[in-house]
Amino acid sequence: MDNDSVKQNLLKIRLEHNLSQGEMADVLGIARNTYRNIEKGGTKLISDTVFKVAGWAGIAPEEVVLGYSPTDRNVGRLKDAREQFNNKIKDLTDEYEGRLERLRYENSLLKDLIKEKDDNIRTLRSMTALLEKRLEDNKND
């Protein structure tokens, strides 16, 4: 974090919101020239003292300003996101396995039903053949 990155971020934010320098100054409640000087780098938003304190303490300047190291916070967020992701994977896997088990059960029921129907068809065909034979025998007698 330095004044150059801050002014680049300000410019980017202003342009993303389609604001002129004057409109951005109005949003911030400052004069247009004051905002222009900030964005152009004439006015520093971050004091050199921040960098001196950070150097002396052996910490990042962001930690002086924010009170914590942004990377530490991001690691925590990443861990939280990873945990949520893993929980979602587990939930989806459990749901998938449950559905798969139900489908396997339904499939076995359908196979049994088909087998039963095939048995009925064979029986009916046998009965039909037997009846046709009796009819044929009765005709010949």
Give the pLDDT confidence score for residue 18 in this predicted structure: 95
Question: Could you tell me if residue 60 is inside a domain?
Answer: yes
Instruction: Read off the pLDDT of each residue in 2-20 and give the average, rounded to a whole number.
Output: 87
Q: In CATH, what number is assigned to the domain containing residue 63?
A: 1.10.260.40
CA–chain centroid gap for 132, Å, is 68
Under 8 Å between Cβ of 37 and 3: no
Q: Which structural domain, as residue segments, surrounds residue 30?
A: 1-68
Question: Could you tell me if residue 49 is inside a domain?
Answer: yes
Task: Give the Cα separation of 8 and 22 in Å (integer).
Answer: 17
pLDDT confidence tier of residue 140, bands split at 50, 70 and 90: confident
- Whether residue 69 is predicted with pLDDT greater than 80 in this model: the reply is no
Residue type (1 letter), 86: N
Mean model confidence pLDDT for the chain = 89
Q: What percent of the chain clears pLDDT 90, i.e. is strictly above it? A: 55
Q: Based on the structure, what is the number of domains in the chain?
A: 1
pTM of structure: 0.42
Q: What is the pLDDT of residues 82-93, one digit of tens each?
A: 899 999 999 999
